[in-house]
Structure 1
Amino acid sequence: MSSTTALTFQPTPGKIRELIANRRPGYCLDAPFYTDEAIYKLDIEAIFGKHWIYVGVEPEVAEAGDFLTVEIGGESVLVVRHDDGSLRAFHNVCRHRGARLCEEKHGSVGNLVCPYHAWTYNLDGELVHAGHMGSGFDASKHGLKPVHVKSIEGLIFVCMAKDAPADFDELAKIMSPYIAPHRLKDCKIAASVDIVEQGNWKLVVENNRECYHCVPNHPELTISLFEFGFGYAPGSNNTEAIEEFKRIVETSACRWEGMGLPSREIDHLDDRTTGFRTQRLPLTQAGESQTMSTEVACKKLLGDLTERALGGLSFWTQPNSWHHFMSDHIVTFSILPVSAGKTIVRTQWLVHKDAVEGVDYDVNTLTEVWRATNDQDRKLVEMTQRGATSSGYEPGPYSEYTEGLVEKFMRWYIGRLNAVIG
């Protein structure tokens, strides 16, 4: 089987189309998909420029005038809480000479004032002041350029396309009952960490979408996970254990759904424009949370929850996020591409807004599992990125038992590229 490597690839439009057309189902991608800047630019245009991108949580913009900014492949988007309580989003670019309106990641404003020449916009994005422009200047034609913004129970998504994928509303309708009991809007961010990984964003997603690597690489994370929770190859030596795991999953799902907590798997990772998947799975040992002890990290539970052992609700979205909801805290992850070989992975831990640090929770206990896991994943992604630059690299096969979600991501990715380039 032939292979196109980063050393031989010439990034013409025809070659890129050929690579896309020749992608072999069940195998990872040719090297240029991970290393070439021309394909990276296509990813930014076709994937991050046209789909719903997860950017943060509503507690970051809790009050009127609060804002957050996020960099998405060289674009800066500004999300702000309007006076009426709704969310608005704009390109973070002044309509005068293009200066960034807000350089900080977070802040609070009355109006949006450009630091260069003081052009001033209200929270609707309307230009309300522009000095020295003369009587013939029409301010109404120079408002901020809007960006689509929607929230699913406190998870904020933006879309920079002119026409955003319409299926997001259906996704929100499906997911809201799963997420709502955890009351994310009534949480606060207890910790936030950005990791810069020297790897392509797709390698970060591939790594996230499988747990084939978990047992040898994630000793902290696997303390709370059942061995068969994320894929397994059946054999004569594990038949009874697998059947027992299936029984635990079914029994737990029935009990949780009886409590008003939707739990059963929904998987649309590769058959929708806005791909997603969700499932609530039991945790092992104490079964309360993704911590080293498997007990809750925060004594004050989320929302109106009264039981600690509610497993872990996972929610994945294409192309850039995954989230874990437990009884006591929430962990959210976003992928923000920087270049063909560099990606920011942002992790945020949320607890009940009334939880008191040092009394109800300890930040180290809350974050230690995923801080360790993220660093381990960073190393795995970076070693894979280095391998992709080798002349000896050739796409290898996915495990049908443990890497099925990776294949679904790849099918979605290739499908979305084809939808743009034809």
Structure 2
Amino acid sequence: MTASVSAPRTTPGKLTATLTDTRLAEIKTLFENRREGYSLEGPFYTDPDLFKVDMEAIFGKHWLFAASVAEIPEPGDYVTLDYGPYSLIVLRNDDGGVNVLHNVCRHRGARVLTEAQGTTGNLVCGYHSWTYSPEGSLIHASSPGEGKFDKNCFALKKAHSRVYAGLIFVCIAEEPPTDFDEVAKIFEPYLAPHDLGKTKVAYQQNIIEEGNWKLVMENNRECYHCDGHPELACSLFPTWGLTDGIIPPHLEEVWERNKTAQADLEARCRRYGLPYEVLEELDTRIAGFRISRESLDGDGESFSADGHRLSKKLLGDLRDFRLGRCSMHLQPNSWFHFQSDHVITFGAFPINEHQTLVRTTWLVADDAVEGDDYDLEKLTYTWKQTNLQDKNFVELCQVGAANPAYEQGPYMKSEYQVEAFINWYTQRALEHLA
């Protein structure tokens, strides 16, 4: 299902309107002088003016992962999405589509919906009771003695939306990048067999990491640090990102086991007609992406201590539990793990230049019964621990980036996806600043 809406929109350029031409030129120079193959300079992680540029150039212009359809299964269900100065309402409408509205009342700017999620009919602002339809139209704004005014001029502002393979994406730009639809045609065949439309939320975790959003994404894009994830290393091969010729001695046996497991997985995928090839254009197109199906260690079924399934219910049309993980990375703010028994979605939402909300959602088959088909603590254990460990790593880097002794350091070969992310980010920012 694909949905797109158009209406009065925001002007993201307002965020940097207060910056002087000299300041904008300084920021542009930082991007132009970016040293390839090295980490970014400290201000990219600490400067509030640079954060404004990020909100305009990246989060104000590009497609962002917002939620899954399992989070708003019924008409009237909604989630609110907050990042930087923005707040959006992502709402399931009566025909099964998705509306995305700016969560700002057109009267005096109060936030319309204040809860993170819920169910609503009409949208009523709690300040002066201005009332909007689920499509954003103003339907009630009366006051004693007030003359008539054109309600059509005061609808809630809308954002663009897309729903692909059960994942909801939003874009607040007036003209969003068009190549995202092309990328969706690439990743949909990988994800569709898991059928997110027939899943439910088992658990959702929100963590505020004391770090810039780019550090969150950089940390996710490499496994050089995976020795720091003992729970995850039980099922995720810590050789992810490595190739023949750069395997450290202590991982040689793991690498050989990984290659054998991957060959078995690919044979299984061919049997079931499932795509598994690595496809990636992380910094060579506007909608940067990477997707593949990769083996897991142990039983090869799920993220558990022995790789065994964590739910007894297969997802969608899948016929085998031993299908590893379908892993997808999308620029700029999301990553996903699709297993045969459950799916985990991750979204990173900047709060300010030094804080990021990381939202993790575990999805299981909609007929799976907690306690019978899955144990919630076991289902979430590996990634709860991994998220806390990643939080610590990100926060160590944030403190370091603010230290006067900080200097840019080189990326290792296994960190090529970090380099690709920074390349993508730099390109998009320079396009905007031009």
Q: Does 1:282 align with 2:291?
A: no
CA distance 1:176–1:110, shift in 2 (3 Å): same
| Equivalent-residue separation in structure 2 for 1:98 and 1:14 (angstroms) | 32
Distance 2:180 2:47 in 1: 31
Alignment of 1:260-299 (within 5 A): 260-299=273-312
Q: CA deviation at 1:303?
A: 1.2
In structure 2, which of residues 62, 73, 77 is the aligned counterpart of residue 62 of structure 1? 73
Does residue 114 of the first structure (1) align with residue 125 of the second (2)? Answer: yes
Could you list the per-position Cα deviations for residues 196-223 of structure 1 after superposition, in whole angstroms to 9, with x for gaps in the alignment? 11111101111000000002x0000011
Identify the residue that residue 421 of structure 1 maps to in structure 2.
433
Q: Which residue of 1 aligns with 2:357?
A: 344
Alignment of 1:63-82 (within 5 A): 63-82=74-93
Q: Equivalent residues in 2 for 1:100-139 (5 A)?
A: 100-132=111-143, 134-139=146-151
User: How many Å apart are 1:170 and its aligned residue?
Assistant: 0.9
2:190–2:274 contact (8 Å) kept in structure 1: yes
Runs of 4+ in structure 1 deviating by more than 3 angstroms, as ranges, are 133-136, 235-248
How many matched pairs? 410
Are 2:297 and 2:306, in contact at CA under 8 Å, matched by a contact in 1?
no
Q: Corresponding residue for 1:206?
A: 218
Please show how residues 15-414 of structure 1 align to structure 2 within 5 Å: 15-132=26-143, 134-215=146-227, 217-232=228-243, 234=246, 242=255, 245-246=258-259, 248-400=261-413, 402-414=414-426
Instruction: Provide the C-alpha distance between the structure 1 equivalents of 2:258 and 2:364, rounded to a whole number of angstroms.
Output: 29
Secondary structure of 1:333 counterpart: strand
Deviation at 1:258, TM superposition (A): 3.1
What fraction of aligned residue pairs are identical, expressed as a percent?
Answer: 47
CA drift of 1:376 comes to 0.5
Superposed displacement of residue 250, structure 1: 4.0
Contact 2:223 2:239 in 1 (8 A): no
Distance in structure 1 (CA, Å) of the matches to 2:238 and 2:429: 35
54-63 or 134-143: bigger deviation:
134-143
Read off the aligned partner of 2:187 and give its amino acid letter: M
Q: Please list the CA deviations of residues 266-323 of structure 1 after superposition, one character each: whole Å capped at 9, or x if unmatched.
A: 1011111111110110111111101123111111111132311100100111010000
SS in 2 for 1:62: coil
Separation of aligned partners in 2, 1:114 and 1:257:
53
Helix, strand or coil for the counterpart of 1:78? strand
Match of 1:8 in 2: none
Say if 1:335 and 1:346, in contact at 8 Å, map to a contact too. Answer: yes
Q: Please give the alpha-carbon distance, in whole angstroms, between the structure 2 residues aligned to 1:138 and 1:80.
A: 25
Residue 172 of structure 1 and its aligned partner are, at CA, apart by 1.4
Deviation at 1:119, TM superposition (A): 1.5
SS at match of 1:195: strand
Matched-pair contact (CA < 8 Å) for 2:70–2:201: yes
Check conservation: 2:247, 2:255, Cα contact below 8 A: no
CA contact under 8 A between 1:229 and 1:281: conserved in structure 2? no
Secondary structure at 1:407 match in 2: helix
Q: Which structure 1 segments of 5+ residues have no match?
A: 1-10
Distance in 2 separating the partners of 1:27 and 1:236 = 22
Distance 1:184 1:236, change over 3 A: closer
Tell me if structure 2 keeps the 8 A contact 1:147–1:160.
yes
Cα distance in structure 2, aligned partners of 1:257 and 1:179: 16
Corresponding residue for 2:6? Answer: none
Structure 2 CA distance for partners of 1:123 and 1:334, relative to 1, 3 Å: same
Deviation at 1:49, TM superposition (A): 0.7
TM-aligned CA distance change 1:235 to 1:113, over 3 Å: closer
State the alpha-carbon separation in 2 of the partners of residues 127 and 183 from structure 1: 35
Q: CA deviation at 1:261?
A: 1.6
Q: Normalising by the residue count of structure 2, what TM-score does the alignment of the two structures yield?
A: 0.91
CA distance in 2, matches of 1:234, 1:36: 36
2-side partners of 1:214 and 1:81: how far apart? 38
- How far apart, in 2, do the equivalents of 1:52 and 1:193 lie? 22
Structure-1-length-normalised TM-score: 0.93
For the residue of structure 2 that corresponds to 1:272, the secondary structure is coil
What CA distance in whole angstroms lies between the structure 1 residues aligned with 2:388 and 2:430? Answer: 34
When residues 150 and 410 of structure 1 are mapped into structure 2, their CA distance, relative to the original with a 3 A threshold, is same
In 2, the alpha carbon distance for the partners of 1:257 and 1:235 equals: 28
Matching residue's letter, 2:332:
P
Instruction: Quote how far apart the aligned CAs of 1:122 are.
Output: 1.2
Q: What does the per-residue CA deviation read over 1:371-414, in whole Å, with 9 as the maximum and x for residues that have no partner? A: 100101111111111111111110000002x1000000010000
Distance 1:347 1:252 in 2: 26
How far did 1:228 drift?
2.7
For 1:140 and 1:244, the matched residues in 2 are separated by 63
Question: 1:285–1:294: 8 Å Cα contact kept in structure 2?
Answer: yes
One-letter amino acid of the structure 1 residue matched with residue 394 of structure 2: V
Q: CA RMSD in A?
A: 1.7
SS class of match (1:398): coil
- Equivalents in 2 of 1:325, 1:269: separation in Å? 20
